Structure 1
Amino acid sequence: MTIEDNIAALPRQMEPIIQDSLLINFTTEFNRVWSSNGSKAKPATFWRPAPAPDALPGYFPLGDMLIPGDANINGEVVAAVVCERDLKGVENARGKALARPIDFELVWKETGAPNVARLSIWRPLAPVGYVALGQVCTTDHCKPSLNSVRCVRVDLVVAANLGELIWNDKGSGAKMSFSAYAIEPPTAAAGEILFAAGTFAGIQGYSKPAAPSSAYALRMQIPVQLSEPPQVPVLGGYAKPAESEPATVTHVARLPWFAVRDHAHPGEQFRNSPYYALKRTDQYVLIGYERNEADTYRARKWTAPRAQSAVTMRMFHSFTAMEIVKAWPSAPLSDIRMTRFSACLPKALTHTEASSNGWHELRPQIVIAMVPKQSAVAVYQMQSHYELVREDGTQVAVDFGYTDDSSVLLTQYPPQSIESVSSCPSLTSDIPAETSIDSTSVEALPSPDLDVVTDSAP
């Protein structure tokens, strides 16, 4: 391997996730602690995250990892590590984000096979106001160093559940029985990501507890960069305007690598794209235009197709495992990532502040307006388009769209002739009843109070 190859193989330093005074990062470097090889128990290996001091100075693991089998996981598996954020002399009223354990209690020790190296597993005892997110192994029967892990302030974590069994010591001959389970975060609320550090929850015995008291997951808010919305279009003359107004990127949500399935090995995905950007672009699209040169009002009707597509949404979910209107993953991912998580996009990003029903509305919308005499009218509707991109700008999966019924608007020329509009009950669709596509309608009539056409579909 050349020097250049070695450099390319080094893990990239990810910009840390910041949660109050806690910094969260990831490492692909580990030290092997113990393997069950030589015993009669199933093959499994304990590993300790070893963040490189030059790449991640000041970072600590939250506990050791347990991997079925005995393959080398360096460069292949990714685990979370943590660091105290430097607040530049400002004292945090809540206290430090991290603390050393005050002691350890024994969970299990290997005492059976004469040809197997010793191992003991310990549960860190956290100081008041902090919790431990993992357990620590030693290759003797002595307690680990208090500097081997860090505990996290309780308000920076959430209670988690026990997942599937990773390994137990059945057949080892040890006097104590032991089972290790994966840690499963609960369902995330809108705008949050809850994720496990990659550690395990070990217990004495072979029966899974119904209500674990010592399983926790990390939490983060999904950062969203907001920009000004597109300028509201104004009809400036009698000529028909362009079919669409300029598009504007209004929302950019930043998602960590583990929240997106990109059909790549976790280690490769982490190195190539530590973060993904979900971009929302908003644009006013012309629904209809009419110039009335008569001396009386004229009724005009337009049909506006929607940007939503059930097929496109299924394709996007299939590629990325992401859900737009609810938390994901909706089913366990089939890859070998160790970072178990639950994520849910912010409601303002997904147009779901009031309801998620809009994403399932595929019927075209019918808009009816009364065009004043000697005037021109243009009716617009906001459309949003979403695109998921990697750090290098390449797109993941397919883009998809959303039509915002609440942003239908009418503009008239000349300005002094502008008369307000209001919504009326739904009209009967002209689309045959047997077709799978329905239509909703909005009727615009003169009114002294309102100037925006709104959707009145049930």
Structure 2
Amino acid sequence: MTLEENAASPPRPMQPITHDNLLINFTTEFHRVWSINSAKAKPGTFWRPTPAPDALPGYFPLGDLFIPGSFNINGDMVSAVVCEKDLKGAKNSKGNALAKPADFELVWNESPSPSVTRTSIWRPIPPAGYVALGLVCASDHRKPSPNTVRCVRADLVVEATVGDLLWNDKGTGAKLSFSAWTIQPPTAEPGEICFAPGTFVGVETYSKPTAPGTAYALRMQIPMQITAAPQAPMLAGYAHPPSSEAVKVTQVARLPWFAVRDHADPAEQFFSSPYYELKRTDEYVLIGHDHNTSDNTRAAKWITHRTQNPIGLRVFSGLTSIEIDKAWPSVALSDRRVTKLSARLPEHFTHSENSASGWMESRPQAVIAMVAKQTAVAVYQMESHYKLIREDGTQVAVEFRYTDDSSFHLTQFPPEQIEIANACRQLTMSTPPGSEDSGGAVDIIAPSALELPTATDSAP
């Protein structure tokens, strides 16, 4: 999945999300279809996303929205809309991303009561290979036009579950029963975002629907920009090297606006920063240096402190809703967001391919190296810094760090004498002899019996 640079939503352009030949964008323009005006029924309004043709040409809604109350949501709410990607004459082997409904099935209509405006709710019947992501409300009893909504090819969506009750027709005087429910996307896999466009599912009863295949959500991969890691440092002499090497942005996760809490109304956030960048910067930091001027091999030991801070990480997650080692959000981002989601960062981005417990580990480590005679040794460790940036370049929340315990690097001068007898063993809970610090111990041993080129030792 990539980002397509060809659509705009005023007053600020937004690159649409591209999933195969499906384009997904957002609108703040809606048409009021029907408002509940019965004194005994729960108040609310059914709205249809209607993006201006000059702003989002070719975009369609996936279904209508239900918003409690009767206030005008134009310019305040944001809803997803979809478009077929222009393949420039080529054809997708899987077929079009979107299709018109083959027909509509009546789900509910009100009785001819004086207190109720004539209305009806319909379920789009998708053609084979496609699914409908929402229902359609009509201000009369006539079947909607096939151009009202679009259905989505089944491989472009993910099966979702039915969420909370939105509305039911109790008190309207209607003869038929009806209830509308939110769509809850599934827990995202690493590197993905699953999100519901704000549409709803409905049934002809007041009971929550449980049958599979009734609710679907859109999905996307989190766009990543990945560059090579910084080059491992090399000792060029016996002198003490700099404490850190060049800093380099190595990975950037691009997050859409609805996946980030930024303490603003949905439309304000959408217009001000359609995307956010979570940048990871890597650098090699010097753990220790030793110059052995004697004629005997000796041990050198250093204590390295981890840079990850569980408290700081909780502050970042609390302000942005973004979780580093699991899916988010743990709670709804706001009551005014119609887009429900589940997102999870790629594991290679968060250093959690094997285990996420490293983010909570704050104990120091002891690093031990055997330094050959007349030799200088330096041991480095990789550090990653994370910062969340809006489109205008301003920072959100706080920066946080991670010490990558699997990226220890040993360099020696003269380089032709570097010798490794034993790779770093599994980190342990024991304290090295003579150290009062608790934590793991990493052995980097260079006896004089072997002659090997520069090596990078790692501890899992």
TM-score by length of 1: 0.94
Aligned-partner Cα distance in 1 for 2:314–2:258? 20
Counterpart Cα distance in 1 of 2:335 and 2:253 = 24
Match in the other structure for 2:3: none
Question: Counterpart of 1:319 in 2: which secondary structure?
Answer: helix
Deviations 1:141-174 (Å, cap 9, x if unpaired)? Answer: 0000000000000000011111110111101110
> What secondary structure, in the 3-state scheme, does the structure 2 residue paired with 1:61 have?
coil
Contact 1:39/1:116, CA 8 A, preserved across alignment: no
User: Residue 319 of structure 2 aligns to a residue in which SS?
Assistant: helix
Q: Which residue identity is paired with 2:254? A: R
Verify the 8 A CA contact 1:288 1:378 in the aligned structure 2.
Answer: yes
> Which residue matches 1:420?
420
Instruction: For 2:399 and 2:104, locate their aligned partners in 1 and report how far apart those are by CA, in whole Å.
Output: 50
In the TM superposition, 1:24-173 aligns within 5 A as: 24-111=24-111, 113-173=113-173
- Following superposition, the deviation at residue 415 of structure 1 comes to 1.2
Corresponding position: 1:455 with 2:449: no
Q: Distance in 2 between matches of 1:49 and 1:406?
A: 49
> What is the distance in 1 between the residues matched to 2:58 and 2:365?
57
Q: Give the letter for the 1:30 counterpart.
A: F
In structure 2, the residue matched to 1:6 is none
Distance in 2 between residues matched to 1:254 and 1:303, nearest whole Å: 36
- 2:301 maps to 301
Partner secondary structure for residue 267 of structure 1: helix
Within 5 Å, which residues of 2 pair with 1:6-405?
Answer: 10-111=10-111, 113-405=113-405
> Whole-Å Cα distance in 2 between the matches of residues 231 and 124 of structure 1?
56
Query: How far apart are the structure 2 equivalents of 1:62 and 1:358?
Result: 42
Is residue 250–residue 282 contact of structure 1 (8 Å, CA) maintained in 2?
yes
User: What SS class does the counterpart of residue 446 from structure 1 fall into?
Assistant: coil
2: CA distance, partners of 1:185 / 1:442:
43
Structure 2 unaligned segments of length 5 or more: list them.
1-8
CA distance in 1, matches of 2:319, 2:38: 41
Partner of 2:5: none
**Alpha-carbon distance in 1 for matches of 2:332, 2:183:** 13
What is the alpha-carbon distance in structure 2 between the residues aligned to residue 125 and residue 431 of structure 1? 71
Query: Deviations along 1:210-258, whole A, 9 cap, x unmatched?
Result: 3343210000001100112101100001111100001100000100000
| 8 A Cα contact 2:235 2:412, kept in partner | yes
Would you identify which runs of 4 or more consecutive aligned residues in structure 1 move more than 6 Å? Answer: none
Match of 1:5 in 2: none
SS of the residue aligned with 1:152? strand
TM-score by length of 2: 0.94
| Cα distance in 1 for residues equivalent to 2:109 and 2:340 | 27
- Which secondary structure does the structure 1 equivalent of 2:446 belong to? strand
- The worse-fitting range, judged by mean Cα deviation, of 349-358 and 223-232 is 349-358
After TM superposition, give the deviation of residue 10 of structure 1 in Å.
4.6
- Aligned positions, number: 444
Do the aligned residues in 1 keep the contact of 2:38 with 2:171 (CA within 8 Å)? no
Cα pair 1:385 1:399 within 8 Å, conserved: yes
CA apart distance, 1:390: 0.6
Q: CA deviation at 1:356?
A: 1.4
> Post-superposition shift, 1:431?
6.3
Contact 1:162 1:212 in 2 (8 A): no
For the residue of structure 2 that corresponds to 1:313, the secondary structure is: helix
Instruction: State the distance in 2 between where 1:380 and 1:112 align.
Output: 78
Q: Aligned to 2:143, what secondary structure does the other structure show?
A: coil
Q: 1-side partners of 2:421 and 2:304: how far apart? A: 18
CA distance 1:297–1:431, shift in 2 (3 Å): closer
Letter in 2 for 1:346: P
Q: How far has the Cα of 1:12 moved from its partner?
A: 2.2
| Superposed displacement of residue 333, structure 1 | 2.9
Q: Is the 8 A contact 2:308 2:403 kept in 1?
A: yes
Letter in 1 for 2:180: A
1-side partners of 2:337 and 2:62: how far apart?
Answer: 17
Q: How far apart are residue 111 of structure 1 and its match?
A: 1.5
Aligned amino acid, residue 72 of structure 1: N
State the distance in 2 between where 1:68 and 1:431 align.
Answer: 63
Counterpart code for 1:148: T
Measured in 1, the distance between the counterparts of 2:23 and 2:375 equals 60
Which AA in structure 2 matches 1:318? G
Secondary structure at 1:406's aligned position in 2?
strand
Q: 2 CA distance for matches of 1:404 and 1:13?
A: 38
Q: CA deviation at 1:445?
A: 1.7
Counterpart secondary structure, 1:269: helix
- What is the one-letter code of the residue matched to 2:459? D
Paired residue type of 1:40: K
1:4 counterpart residue number? none
- Give deviations 1:299-331, integer Å, cap 9, x for gaps: 110001111001110100100111111111122
Alignment of 1:435-450 (within 5 A): 438-446=438-446, 448=450
Residue identity matched to 2:248: T
In the alignment, the residues of structure 1 paired with residue 421 and residue 385 of structure 2 have an alpha-carbon distance, to the nearest angstrom, of: 28
Identity value in percent: 61
CA distance in 2 between partners of 1:151 and 1:203 (Å): 19
CA contact (8 A) 2:38 2:172 kept: no
Where do 5+ consecutive residues of structure 1 fail to align?
A: 1-8
Between 1:375-384 and 1:447-456, the stretch displaced more is 447-456
Q: Is the 8 A contact 1:13 1:56 kept in 2?
A: no
Give the C-alpha shift of residue 446 in structure 1. Answer: 2.7
**Alpha-carbon contact 2:104-2:144 (below 8 Å) kept:** yes
Distance 2:135 2:444 in 1: 65
Provide the secondary structure at the position in 1 that maps to 2:117. Answer: coil
Which letter does structure 1 place at the counterpart of 2:455?
D
Q: Would you say the 8 A contact 1:302–1:366 is kept in 2?
A: yes
Output the CA distance in 1 between the equivalents of 2:74 and 2:310.
40
Answer whether contact 1:11 1:28 (CA < 8 A) is retained.
no
Counterpart residue type for residue 380 of structure 2: Y
CA contact (8 A) 2:28 2:74 kept: yes
Q: Matched residues in 1 for 2:55 and 2:383: separation? A: 43
What is the Cα deviation at residue 455 of structure 1? 2.7
Shift of 1:362: 1.0
1:113-155 CA-to-partner distances (Å, cap 9, x unmatched) read 3143211000000000000001111111000000000000000
